[in-house]
Each structure stands twice: as structure tokens, then as C-alpha cells.
Amino acid sequence: MLEAIYEGERFDLHNHLRRQDSIKLEVERLKKAADKGAFTCPYCNGILKLKAGDIYEKHFFHPSNSCSISEASETYQKQIKRESKKHSVMKEIIYDELKTQEKINGNLHVEYGYIEKAEEKWKYYPDIIIENSKTELAITILTDVTATKDSRLVQQIKKRNDYFKTKNLKPIWFVEETEQSVDMDRRVIHLWEAELDIAVKMEEDLKWEETLDSLKTENNLFDLFNYHHQNAPRKYEVFSLYYVKSTETNITFTVQRFLKDQTSHPYRAFALKEAYEIKMATALLTEDTVQLSDPLIENQQRESFLLEALKRDKEYIPAALEASINSDDLQFSQPISNPKKYDEVGLIEILNDYIEEVKVISASELSKYLVKECGAPSQTYLTGKYQIYTDVCIALNGIETSGKIKLIRKEFVDDRIYEVIVK
Ligand SMILES: [Zn+2]
């Protein structure tokens, strides 16, 4: 182990040696002190000796029976070897905050994972364990998640995640914020496999699922929000990821909530809302469980999501149609080369021919066509719109009830866009 008590204070061997000019001389000095009983185990108070190999092998050890916490500490140290320096900084800040909450809330018990579970000799330890009357949470901070390390890291994290679950702990992972990758225009989050694996379902996620289940739209959610996808979800699975960012003395959390989508590489998910930042005290507020969200913001976000989805549903034009509306090759005004004359055959017959020729009908463009190509009356309203527009809308409305065409967009009083369903 690397930690000991020296002269009444906690002593970290690696940190101490890092600050020395001559490691060799200092090690000799420490070794002598240790032989005289200057270093004791922080957990069992037993005397510790110093093993002095090369820099990575120097460590304290129990000369006789080792205690369980020091053994657990060894296991834990190996496990966090890959983490960046920020890992221990963030862990300590979170630990301190939770310890403060423990003092306020009598039902809460907070401890480092390897200390709490040392007796049980676990294979992996979370950074911190929070226990209340209902659950035990296993909190682990992940730093330095990158592509090159992803595949190996995924395996490690999977194992640890599953292990904590078999021990009846709810694992919660905090990922260093530099890993976040969101594109809100396309509503997509790009994820490492590791991130997908450690996403959790918290209480707010369940509320989001309820909200989504209550949402009645004609079109599927992914289409409505322009999210590129293979299949629309049959069931909404909301998960959340928690990112941490640290300054010298403080930490902020960011919550990212999403609908699970692609579960093979490249990993993608539908971003429900913009991630938002929460202060540590709010995030770690614990009554029954760590809150990890701001309930007020969550409510607002759910409400605005519902409204937006409904609004988008009303205005939705399938992508294929939108393309044809915008494309130059589809001219509303000239679908037929030699159209019949308005005063010879009447409105309905021209309309029926017109529907045969086009995929999309704009009532306003159709009115212009009637006047310019078919010789329909050209009187206009004060707004400049042809008066025949009213007759056209009434006629189209009638045709719509037959199911031949479908209204896909209204532009207030200016225009109505129909999709042709059956030819
Ligand atoms: Zn000990």
C-alpha cells in the first residue's frame, strides 16, 4: 500500500517521493524510520515496513498479518491506475460534499468503496458508496476515456458495472466532461461504447418515459426532430449520463438525457434536450437517493419538449416530399402542357387532371395556373391574391374527404399544401 500514518498525519508515499530531489537518499531515510516503527497503517494501526525496489515497486506492507482494508486499498489502487490526476481531485471534492450531507441527513452513510467493502474482499471497488434506507449507490468517476482506450476500457467497465449490480448496488458513473459530444440540430449524441454501457435510468428518466408515452403524434418522434435513424423506437427507453467538470475547488455536473438508439458502433442516441449544468450541492442532494438533476429544470424541459413535438407534428412534411417541394423540376404552375379551358370544362375537371400530374399541390400556385394557363377569371382581392383561390380551397377540401389528397401544411391564409395520395 502507498498510504500510511506518519507523525499523526496521512502520508502518501508516491506524492512524497515525487517532491524529492534525491529519491534514493529519501527512500533510505524513510526505510530507517519505518524499521523503527514510524509508519502505521491508517486502517488497523499496525506497524508498516517499507519495501524499496525501483520507483513503482516501493510500497508499505504489513510485516505480519495484513489487514483487510489495506488489501482492499491495493486492489483499488490497481483499478484506478489508468485514471488521470483529476480523478482523485474530483473524488475528494465529491466525497467531502457527500460527507457534509451525511451530517445533515441521519439516514445517509457515505464511505470510500474499498473501506466500506474491505471485509467482503471485493474484486472491484467503486470510488464512493452511498447508502440509505433503500439503496446503495456505487459512485465511480471516469477520466481519460478516449477512442484508443475505449475497447479495453469498455470491457473493464462492463465487468465492474455488472459486478456492482450483482452486489445489489446501483452503479452511477461520472464521466469527465471533455468526452461529451452532442449535435442539437440533429438531436444526436455520439457516444463511446463505454458511455452507453454506464448510462443509467434514474427517477427523472422514468418521468421522461411517462411523458413520451403520453405524447400522441401522427409522425414518429425521430422524424419530427430530424434525427437520422433506421427504425423508429417501438418503446421509449430513456437513459441519462452524468458528466463532471472540475475546477480547483469545485465541481459541476452536466446531465445528458437521451433515447437509446444505436447499440452497435458507431454509437448514437437521440438527445431529448440540451444538457444542462447543475451545481454540486443540487446534484448530490440526497433524500432517498442522490438527485443528480434539477427537478424544476426537468419539468420545464419536459413541458417544452411536449409542446415542440406537437408543433413539429402539425407542421411536419415528410423529407421526400419536402425535397420535391423545393426542387426546381416540380413546377406547380405548369404540370400539363395543353390544359383544358376553365370556361369549357369547369374547375373540378381541371383539378382532376392536375392531380394526375403532380405529387404536391400548392393551392396558391394552382390558382395562378388556373388563371394563366386555363383562362380562369383573374380578379384579385386587395391583397393581390386571385379570388379563385377561395374556390380552389373549397374544391381541394372536398377532394381531400375522398382520400385522394391530404393536407400536409397550412400557411395561415396564404397557402395550403396537399400531398397527392392516390392517382
Ligand atoms: Zn492495516
User: Using 50, 70 and 90 to split pLDDT, how confident is the model at 423?
Assistant: low
Strand ranges of the sheet holding 39-40, from the earlier edge strand across to the other edge: 9-12, 3-6, 39-40
What's the gap in Å between 6 CA and the centre of ligand 1?
A: 14
Backbone φ/ψ region at 403: left (φ over 0), alpha (ψ -120 to 50), beta = left
What's the gap in Å between 83 CA and the centre of ligand 1?
A: 25
User: Using 50, 70 and 90 to split pLDDT, how confident is the model at 329?
Assistant: very low
What's the gap in Å between 68 CA and the centre of ligand 1?
A: 7
Element (H, E) at 121: none
What's the gap in Å between 66 CA and the centre of ligand 1?
A: 6
Pairing of strands 128-131, 136-142: antiparallel
User: C-alpha grid cell for residue 101?
Assistant: 450531507
Q: How far is CA 76 from CA 70, 137, 146, 198, in A?
A: 10, 17, 22, 19
Average pLDDT over residues 270-280: 87
Convert the pLDDT of each residue in 378-412 to its tens digit. Answer: 998 877 788 899 899 889 988 988 888 988 877 66
What's the gap in Å between 114 CA and the centre of ligand 1?
A: 13
pLDDT at 341 over 60: yes
Mean pLDDT of the chain: 86
What's the pLDDT at 231? 76
Convert the pLDDT of each residue in 89-111 to its tens digit. Answer: 889 889 998 898 888 888 889 99
What's the gap in Å between 7 CA and the centre of ligand 1?
A: 16
What's the pLDDT at 65? 83
What's the pLDDT at 333? 47
What's the gap in Å between 76 CA and the centre of ligand 1?
A: 15
Instruction: Name the percent of the chain lying above pLDDT 70.
Output: 91
Q: What angle do CA 190, 313, 385 make, to 5 degrees?
A: 125
Higher-pLDDT residue of 236 and 333 is 236
What's the gap in Å between 43 CA and the centre of ligand 1?
A: 5
pLDDT at 220 over 90: no
Average pLDDT over residues 177-191: 84
pLDDT at 415 over 70: yes
What's the gap in Å between 63 CA and the centre of ligand 1?
A: 10
- Nearest-CA neighbor of 50 among 88, 7, 14? 14
